[in-house]
Amino acid sequence: DIQMTQSPSSLSASVGDRVSITCRASQSISFYLNWYQQKPGKAPNLLIYAASRLQSGVPSRFSGSGSGTDFTLTISSLRPEDFATYYCQQSYSTPPWTFGQGTKVEFK
Amino acid sequence: EVQLLESGGGLAQPGGSLRLSCAASGFTFSNYAMSWVRQAPGKGPEWVSSISGTTGYTNYADSVKGRFTISRDNSKDTLYLQMNSLRAEDTAFYYCAKALTGWATYDIWGQGTMVTVSS
C-alpha cells in the first residue's frame, strides 16, 4: 500500500499568514494527489485535485504543487474560515486509495 | 442541488450486521463511481469500498474484504453498504462519496452516518 505522510501534524498561524503543508508519498504517484479540508462535525471538502487543479468554488488563495512523491498545499493569506484540518489523499492507479494523517491548522 | 444523504447507522453488537444506504440527488447517479469512506473518531479518513457507475465493478479495502458488500440501484439513485461480521474496529462515521473523475477523487460527500460496534 502507498503510505502518505503529512507534515507538520499541526501548526499555529495568524490571519493573513502564508501557510504551507507538505505531503510525501511512499512511492511515485505522478500527479494523482488530492487535498481536502475538514471542519469539526463535517465531511471532508475537496480543495485541490490532480496535485494543482483548484476545485470549482474553492477560493484562489488555495494552491497545490508537486508531482512524483512530494506535494505542497499553500494558503496564500489565511482567513478565519481556514482554521481546519487538511488531508492529502492519493488516487493513483489501483486501490487502496490512502489518506495522510492530517494537519490541523490552529489559531496562534 | 447535488446531495448525498446516508442512513442506516447505529449500534451493532460484535458479529452483527448493518446496512447503510446513501440517497443521491441533483446529478446523473449512474454516470459516476461511488465510494464509502469511513473515519474513526479523532482519526483520518479511510477508504472502504468503491463501485463503478454501470458495470458493477467493485473494490474493497483488505480490512473489510469478505465482510462488507457494496452495491447500487441506479433506478433508485441509491448506494448501499452491507456490513456483516462487524468488529469493534469498524466503529466510525461512514460517508458516501461521489467521484469527480475516475475512482478516487471525491467531490461530493454525504453528511455521514455513525456506526458503533459494541457489546
Cβ–Cβ below 8 Å for B45 and A87: yes
Q: How many residues does chain A have?
A: 108
Mean of per-residue pLDDT scores for chain A: 97
B115, B12 Cβ separation under 8 angstroms: yes
Alpha-carbon distances of A97 from A55, B46, B50, B74, rounded to whole Å: 19, 8, 10, 24
Predicted pLDDT of residue B101:
85
Q: What is the pLDDT of residues A18-31, one digit of tens each?
A: 999 999 999 999 99
Q: What is the pLDDT of residues B36-92, one digit of tens each?
A: 999 999 999 999 999 999 998 999 999 999 999 999 999 999 999 999 999 999 999
Q: Indicate the pLDDT class of residue B31, thresholds 50, 70 and 90.
A: very high
Mean of per-residue pLDDT scores for chain B: 97
Distance from CA of B119 to the nearest CA of A (A): 25
Tell me how far apart the alpha carbons of residues B77 and B14 are, in angstroms, rounded to a whole number: 30
Tell me the average pLDDT across B103-108. Answer: 96
Stretch 27-86 of chain B: residues touching chain A, C-beta under 8 Å? 44-47, 50, 59-62
Predicted pLDDT of residue A86:
98
Tell me how far apart the alpha carbons of residues A55 and B78 are, in angstroms, rounded to a whole number: 25
Cis upstream peptide for A8 (omega within 30°): yes
The amino acid occupying position A20 is S
A97, B97 Cβ separation under 8 angstroms: no
Contact list, A49 vs chain B (CB under 8 Å): 100-101, 105, 107
Write the secondary structure of B43-85 as one string of H (helix), E (strand) and C (coil). Answer: CCCEEEEEECCCCCCEEECCCCCCCEEEEEECCCCEEEEEECC
Predicted pLDDT of residue B102:
86
Tell me how far apart the alpha carbons of residues A46 and A23 are, in angstroms, rounded to a whole number: 16
Distance from CA of A49 to the nearest CA of B (A): 7
Tell me how far apart the alpha carbons of residues B110 and B6 are, in angstroms, rounded to a whole number: 6
Predicted pLDDT of residue A93:
85
A45, A37 Cβ separation under 8 angstroms: yes
| Torsion angles phi and psi, residue B62, rounded to 5 | -60, -30
Tell me how far apart the alpha carbons of residues B114 and B38 are, in angstroms, rounded to a whole number: 9
Establish if A104 touches chain B: CB-CB under 8 angstroms.
no
Tell me how far apart the alpha carbons of residues B45 and A87 are, in angstroms, rounded to a whole number: 8
Task: Output the nine-digit C-alpha cell for A27.
Answer: 512511492
